[in-house]
Structure 1
Amino acid sequence: MKSNFKKVISTFAALAVTAASYTAAMPVGAVGSGNADTFPYTIEAEDMEGASVWTNNYGPAPKNTSGEGFFYLTGGSASFTVTVPEDGMYTITARCAQVLDKNGRQESIAVNGIKRMKNMPYSEEWVDFSFGSFRLNKGVNTIEFINEYGYMAIDTVTVSATPKHDYTLAEGTLTDKNATPEAKSLMAYLKSVYGSHIIAGQQEIYGGGHGGNYEWENEYLKDLTGKVPAIRGVDFMNYNPLYGWDDGTTERCIEWATERGGIVTASWHINVPKDFKNYTLGDRLDWKECTYKNYQSGEGSKDFDTRNVVIEGTKEYEYFQLAIKDLAAQLTRLQDAGVPVIWRPLHEAQGNEGNYSDGTAWFWWGDRGAETYKQVWKLLYTTLTEEYGLHNLIWEFNSYDYTNSASWYPGDDYVDIVAYDKYNVEYNRGDGKSSGPNLLAIPAKFDALYALTNGKKMVAMAENDTIPALDNLVVEDAGWLYFCPWYDGGNDGGTAFLGAAYQDFDELKKIYQSDYCITLDELPVDLYTNGGSTPVPVQVEKLIGDANCDGKVDTLDAVLVMQYLANSKNYPLTEQGKANADVDGNGISSSDAQAIQKLAIGG
């Protein structure tokens, strides 16, 4: 019998985050007091090690500094240390001004040696500029402003505990009002586990790789971890009007969902003819004469104009309609079999932040910029749902965290989930290492996608190389809905994303075997009929004072009660927790927190 749900996050990790978050409610320390155990903590910038006092800079000088003056980031770096009680996420904000570049200037900060850059807008007056949220470790941490591009005046720097994401904001309903019962049920289940669990996924190889063994990745993971991923990633690229051939993808999806009880996610590397000008619609081509690359990459079609895809009567429009027809035939087979799909078409459109003008966009669907891309997305959405009557799709949009990424978003009415593709082993590591697995949970990327829709859409890691470490995911509040490493080339060569260069095998086993991660054997039996089984309460008998329902009474229960009283939306209690927390039976109040504290110390 499959379990209904996995248990909540491991007690220790969750309590560590709770304790770190609680510091946000503590009294504010005096500026420059050096009391780094009180948050928010603020330091005068000129008091940082390596800083000097400035009262004027190159250009307009901001007025009314809070101390003797300010620190001007030029010629040398400056740093300070801060002590935190627990591992957790903290936001670093500087009161600063930048008068050198009206287009903004890249500024660098390093936290415990790990550097991050952010563009500081032009400002002649003091503004509060956030460098983002960072993980600080229990004990002493070093924060440094690095002189790379510099020329930024800093008055004060504040470190504050980062509020946890409110995962309850995510929508559990689909944009398609005619969604199938199976799609609605799957969406409800995803919503129910979002923020408290991560679902294991794995992309299968395609095109006959591994000698035609499409279970290679699953067998490999089962041997290594004892578990099989819950989500199967596939690609419908081979169903196309050019060289199209049936590689059994649709049959595998049906078997995966209906016989093995798994979840399907699908991408679509749809090809176009390289010599589009001389191509006759409907003709078959050798796959070597086809491409999904962008126009100016040297591999893309020189004659296929993405702008014409949305203009009826053009050759590009007619070709795209042929491609949709082939795709819809397979998606219809899935719908008829009762199989919903987390559908991720036209992915990585902003890859490399490329537009047609600079030729760096990865795929043809992104090579004419954001406005054209959104039109193509909406055309695909309406054609599949309205013309072909496909309502088994959960629409997933691939986003990035560039300054202009929001301009690529098709809109809340056309997107159900937003996703990021994590590849940071070779480039942009951010962990201070030069090679090997990169275990970061990339919370800054998660924050950016969460902010894209103000938390309304669930956020997934649709592709990745290294699976993030369990500890990083939990402590850094990076509540990715699922992960899904790209396929492993294995004995056929290619990118071995399940190999030692990309995966830390100990961490891989740890997350797969944890309560936090949901694997195939742990999906509910009513996944496609009732949104997943109703969770079984962790505790059925009342334990006075046990607000977090972990089976014991300690000071962290008192902390949780105080958080709940301050902000019940961000720090909710379960019904069982509320019953336990009401010590005196008169409703939950600060007196209950005091009573719980006494119980915890045996008073």
Structure 2
Amino acid sequence: MKTWVKQASAMILAFTLLLGLTTVPAAHASTPLFTIEGENAQLSSDLQVATSIYGTPKPGYSGSGFVWMQNSGTITFTVTVPATGMYSISTRYMQELSPDGRLQYLTINGVTKGSYMLPYTTTWSNFDFGIQKLNQGVNTIQVKAGWGFAYFDTFTVDYANLDPLHVQPILTDSQATPETQLLMNYLTGVYGNHILSGQQEIYGGGNNGNSELEFDWIHNLSGKYPAIRGFDFMNYNPLYGWEDGTTARVIDWVNNRGGIATASWHINVPKNFTAYQLGQSVDWLNATYKPTETNFNTANAVVPGTKEYQYLMLAIDDLAQQLKILQNNGVPVIFRPFHEAEGNGGVNGEGAWFWWAKAGATVYKQLWNLLYTKLTQTYGLHNIIWTYNSYTYSTSPAWYPGDDKVDLVGYDKYNTVYNRYDGLSGVPNEDAITSTFYQLVNLTAGKKMVAMTENDTIPSLQNLTEEKAGWLYFCPWYGEFIMSAANNFPATLKTLYQSSYVITLDELPNLKVTNPAQNSSITPTSATFDKKTANQADIAVTMTLNGNTLSGIKNGSASLVSGTDYTVSGTTVTIKKSYLAARAVGTTNLTFDFSAGTDPVLAISIVDTTQTANNSTITPTSATFDKKTANQADIAVTMTLNGNSLSGIKNGSASLLSGTDYTVSGTTVTIKKSYLAAQTVGTTSLTFNFSAGTAPVLAISIVDTTVALPGALTLTGTAGNAQASLSWTASAGATSYRVERATGSGSYTALATGLTGLTYTDTTAANGTTYNYRIVAVNTAGTTTSNVVSLKPTAPATGSFKIQMYSGNTDASSNTIAPRINIVNTGTTALNLTNVKLRYYYTIDANKVQAFWCDWSTVGSSNVTGTFVTMTTPKTGADTYFEVGFTSGAGSLAPGASAEIQIRIARTDWSNYTQTGDYSFSATGSSYVDWTKMTGYVNSTLQWGIEP
């Protein structure tokens, strides 16, 4: 009965939306629920009530004055609310010290709810602390100085003005398949009234090939299966691509099991893209999605004609083939490409976790637009609900691709260990993060649904309903993220899955539109056409109509002309060679539009085997243009026509204007300096299109020697096992960096060029050898060289155990250092942990009191000890180490056994550390790896790692 009621209510809501019958919540009174003058709150002794600052009056305050907070202090007040729910908290303030803002903390009922940056203002202004959960009855609210130095006039608490969460089921793709539209209708009906359960499957043959492990675990616990299954198309790629059955599992989940499919796209690039040849097979170990591990230039990926663009086209083609199979089987997919782009924040890609965000928000949106256009128009894919992964940084709106290309906004919640504001530690974070939810709703002014597209802990049923957090669905990551009690309490999970608020697989309605047998089909679905004149031939296609009729054929949005471009005779369609000969080399996708059902696609590979001797050529194929006014000059190009004629010249998709941008005299083309001066610094690729044959490219390096030399930069480094890690300060005006290592003769040779980041690891260094390194900053005006750093790689000590680690907090600047440590007994006898010490090395940056917490450990947090030690002789990246020890209660580790320890280190005033360059810090990675930059000892004897 519960199942029927939930399905019926969701479908009624969908119809209500379509008919425009919406409800409006009752408006609250214009008078706020509660307002208090700052001077009437409970003030700590280091605060004072003032009417002026340093003798200068600050008129406009209410009451008898305002609270002057300097570099410390707390303001505390209580408010009584009639019911548990969401309320807005705001203050009237002034902050005229720092244009960059001043950090303060908000605490509710003893639990810190986060840090807030008060903007600069020289007049009394309002600041919103967001919507917060308050309990029925009395609540204690406190504002605490972080960086302080602000004036507080009043504080207001009122009912939260929550968005009604009414979203129209309008997809951005007006040609969406019927199944996709029906799914969108259902999702918008559910939104704000229920939450759909979801689960990400493991990929790449994990779980020993058992992709059902997490799903069976959930079913054994709750008797239910999730409604949504998460997939990943990462293994269909141009490098090491292999068929892991993902597409088949999507079809089975939707068509046979009646579920909903969502998918991400962890598309990799070669680590050494410079050496990579298009179409080359690359082992997965030599591929990556991390921007720090590749020299792939993301900005070039949106520039037609570049190698990066051509690689992206190969990747999109692999993806489109799989999505086309889904479309042909009537399967819609909630697709989440280029996810988690903003990473740790910043508009220029400084916080990027993935290569697709490395070039910043503007290029990212161009990538999104390119993918959207290619899949919907070039490949005719209309079975996609487009999902954009957002964050809630101040820079997040700059990354949003736009309402016209986004159907759904997603957020990836990982806050069980860090970034939590529920006042707990060492247990799952069941907070509904409602403030985050409504910030994302406001990103699109409520026009798009918001989902929890990845997560660790699923919010509790109580928090979801009390806080009115209307997440469309949740989708935990696989493995320990769902099955470990450290991330999800089994009892909470069971209650959630069995509640009437959560929709499970058995509670989904039938989301199929038609029987696939009613679709028309074509044979073949792929073919090859050779543009060489002697080899040109029509292509015949046989249709199985299934009661339908052919309405037309399209290439993207352009319709082919019946009788000219193709002919129809009975059930045979003939694509004419005259039409195909005019197509460019590559893949041409022709969509057969039938009167009903899905529209199959004929993918035609266009080749040209015409002998090279018939191709036209140009000389030179590369040149340099200086934008400095005194150095500007036309570029002359000589053509060898081989019987062809020049049709035109293009820069990407833009055509150059003959007579203005270039001139032709006989076989000489002159590219005008007026055109080149308008191009940006970098490489401009001009494609010469001839009447036949290939189209040669002139690559012009655009420089500008009017630019000043790069500024000074400072190099630091640390030596590891057979490697040297280098980092350097940014050089003002530098466009790239070059890493150089001294040779035996005292001269230097380049190890890497064209770097845009500020770190590099030399993995060719041998242990026991001292190497001298320097960094060269480069721009169009010249170079600037750094200081020289000498490093000697050393093999790690290996004894009775090893240390694995990753940094739980990878922010360059943070108030918390958070190593996650795993010690593994590699010996043949039991390891008594009371004899073991582990050291994490870092720079303290400021001589302030520090504290540590063990959030969780397999040996028990209370059995973990910690000591801060100042090093007698500071080293590069380290003047302090934190030493982990164990009490007798920790016991022993059997051979092969391991123990995890999750540590947090912070100053008692919560000021920031600079983690960049710290010896033991790992800026990348989210899983345990052997880490030689932490050291381990048994009875003071080094057993593991390399001391700095």
TM bucket by the smaller chain?
Answer: 0.7 to 0.9
Q: Within the alignment, does 1:273 sit opposite 2:270 as a pair?
A: yes
Q: Within the alignment, does 1:5 sit opposite 2:6 as a pair?
A: yes
Equivalent positions of 1:514-533 (< 5 A) are 514-526=499-511, 528=513
Question: Would the aligned equivalents of 1:98 and 1:123 in 2 still touch at CA under 8 Å?
Answer: yes
Counterpart CA distance in 1 for 2:9 and 2:84 is 19
Q: Within the alignment, does 1:410 sit opposite 2:401 as a pair?
A: yes
Q: Within the alignment, does 1:351 sit opposite 2:343 as a pair?
A: yes
Question: Would the aligned equivalents of 1:189 and 1:527 in 2 still touch at CA under 8 Å?
Answer: no
Give the aligned partner of residue 169 of structure 2.
172
1:98 and 1:241, CA in 2 relative to 1: closer, same or farther beyond 3 A?
Answer: same
- Secondary structure, in 3 states, of the residue corresponding to 1:334? helix
Give the counterpart of 2:28 among 25, 28, 33.
25
Give the counterpart of 2:332 among 332, 340, 344.
340
Question: Would the aligned equivalents of 1:7 and 1:516 in 2 still touch at CA under 8 Å?
Answer: no
Equivalent positions of 1:339-488 (< 5 A) are 339-354=331-346, 358=350, 360-488=351-479
Give the aligned partner of residue 582 of structure 2.
none
Q: Within the alignment, does 1:47 sit opposite 2:37 as a pair?
A: no
Question: Would the aligned equivalents of 1:269 and 1:292 in 2 still touch at CA under 8 Å?
Answer: yes
Question: Would the aligned equivalents of 1:400 and 1:449 in 2 still touch at CA under 8 Å?
Answer: yes
Equivalent positions of 1:203-282 (< 5 A) are 203-282=200-279
Q: Within the alignment, does 1:323 sit opposite 2:315 as a pair?
A: yes
TM-score with structure 1 length normalisation?
A: 0.79
1:411 and 1:529, CA in 2 relative to 1: closer, same or farther beyond 3 A?
Answer: farther
Counterpart CA distance in 2 for 1:529 and 1:81 is 59
Q: Relative contact order (alpha carbons < 8 A, sep ≥ 6): 1 or 2 greater?
A: 1
1:150 and 1:137, CA in 2 relative to 1: closer, same or farther beyond 3 A?
Answer: same
Question: Would the aligned equivalents of 2:415 and 2:429 in 1 still touch at CA under 8 Å?
Answer: yes
Give the aligned partner of residue 132 of structure 1.
130
Counterpart CA distance in 2 for 1:481 and 1:271 is 29
1:437 and 1:68, CA in 2 relative to 1: closer, same or farther beyond 3 A?
Answer: same
Question: Would the aligned equivalents of 2:271 and 2:294 in 1 still touch at CA under 8 Å?
Answer: yes
1:212 and 1:463, CA in 2 relative to 1: closer, same or farther beyond 3 A?
Answer: same
Counterpart CA distance in 1 for 2:281 and 2:64 is 75
Q: Within the alignment, does 1:500 sit opposite 2:492 as a pair?
A: no
Counterpart CA distance in 1 for 2:107 and 2:57 is 26
Question: Would the aligned equivalents of 1:6 and 1:516 in 2 still touch at CA under 8 Å?
Answer: no
The one-letter code sitting in structure 2 at the alignment partner of 1:331 is L
Report the Cα offset of residue 61 of structure 1: 4.9
Report the Cα offset of residue 119 of structure 1: 1.7
Counterpart CA distance in 1 for 2:181 and 2:222 is 31
More strand by share: 2
Question: Would the aligned equivalents of 1:273 and 1:289 in 2 still touch at CA under 8 Å?
Answer: yes
Report the Cα offset of residue 73 of structure 1: 2.0
Counterpart CA distance in 1 for 2:393 and 2:376 is 30
Counterpart CA distance in 2 for 1:195 and 1:520 is 19
Give the aligned partner of residue 891 of structure 2.
none
Q: Deviations over 1:367-407 (max 9, x none)?
A: 11000000000000000000000000000000000001000
Give the counterpart of 1:68 among 51, 64, 78.
64
- Secondary structure, in 3 states, of the residue corresponding to 1:53? strand
1:481 and 1:529, CA in 2 relative to 1: closer, same or farther beyond 3 A?
Answer: farther
Report the Cα offset of residue 25 of structure 1: 3.0
1:52 and 1:6, CA in 2 relative to 1: closer, same or farther beyond 3 A?
Answer: farther
Q: Deviations over 1:144-177 (max 9, x none)?
A: 0102211111111110010232111x23110001
The one-letter code sitting in structure 1 at the alignment partner of 2:485 is A
Give the aligned partner of residue 75 of structure 2.
78
Q: Deviations over 1:25-71 (max 9, x none)?
A: 3584xxxxxxxxxx521101111112642112369653122111011
Give the aligned partner of residue 546 of structure 1.
none
Give the aligned partner of residue 200 of structure 1.
197
Give the aligned partner of residue 570 of structure 1.
none
The one-letter code sitting in structure 1 at the alignment partner of 2:92 is R
Question: Would the aligned equivalents of 2:347 and 2:399 in 1 still touch at CA under 8 Å?
Answer: no
Question: Would the aligned equivalents of 1:242 and 1:284 in 2 still touch at CA under 8 Å?
Answer: yes
Q: Deviations over 1:546-601 (max 9, x none)?
A: xxxxxxxxxxxxxxxxxxxxxxxxxxxxxxxxxxxxxxxxxxxxxxxxxxxxxxxx
- In structure 1, list runs of 5 or more residues that go unmatched: 10-20, 29-38, 489-494, 531-603
More helix by share: 1
Question: Would the aligned equivalents of 1:7 and 1:515 in 2 still touch at CA under 8 Å?
Answer: no
Q: Within the alignment, does 1:301 sit opposite 2:294 as a pair?
A: yes
Give the aligned partner of residue 34 of structure 1.
none
Question: Would the aligned equivalents of 2:265 and 2:338 in 1 still touch at CA under 8 Å?
Answer: yes
Counterpart CA distance in 1 for 2:231 and 2:413 is 18
Q: Deviations over 1:297-334 (max 9, x none)?
A: 2xx212x1000111010000000000000000000000
The one-letter code sitting in structure 1 at the alignment partner of 2:122 is E
1:166 and 1:159, CA in 2 relative to 1: closer, same or farther beyond 3 A?
Answer: same
Question: Would the aligned equivalents of 2:347 and 2:395 in 1 still touch at CA under 8 Å?
Answer: no
The one-letter code sitting in structure 2 at the alignment partner of 1:392 is N
| RMSD value, Cα | 1.9
Report the Cα offset of residue 181 of structure 1: 0.4
Counterpart CA distance in 2 for 1:27 and 1:305 is 54
Q: Within the alignment, does 1:186 sit opposite 2:171 as a pair?
A: no
Give the aligned partner of residue 149 of structure 2.
151
Report the Cα offset of residue 7 of structure 1: 7.5
1:287 and 1:354, CA in 2 relative to 1: closer, same or farther beyond 3 A?
Answer: farther
Counterpart CA distance in 2 for 1:62 and 1:271 is 57
Counterpart CA distance in 2 for 1:292 and 1:479 is 32
The one-letter code sitting in structure 2 at the alignment partner of 1:282 is G
Question: Would the aligned equivalents of 1:108 and 1:145 in 2 still touch at CA under 8 Å?
Answer: yes
Counterpart CA distance in 2 for 1:60 and 1:312 is 60
1:505 and 1:253, CA in 2 relative to 1: closer, same or farther beyond 3 A?
Answer: same
Counterpart CA distance in 2 for 1:352 and 1:48 is 36
Give the aligned partner of residue 118 of structure 2.
120
Report the Cα offset of residue 5 of structure 1: 3.2
Give the counterpart of 1:513 among 498, 507, 525.
498
Q: Within the alignment, does 1:286 sit opposite 2:287 as a pair?
A: no
Counterpart CA distance in 2 for 1:176 and 1:306 is 27
- Number of matched pairs: 495
Give the aligned partner of residue 574 of structure 1.
none
Question: Would the aligned equivalents of 2:77 and 2:141 in 1 still touch at CA under 8 Å?
Answer: yes
1:27 and 1:406, CA in 2 relative to 1: closer, same or farther beyond 3 A?
Answer: closer
Question: Would the aligned equivalents of 1:175 and 1:416 in 2 still touch at CA under 8 Å?
Answer: yes
The one-letter code sitting in structure 2 at the alignment partner of 1:505 is P
Counterpart CA distance in 2 for 1:333 and 1:234 is 15
The one-letter code sitting in structure 2 at the alignment partner of 1:144 is Q
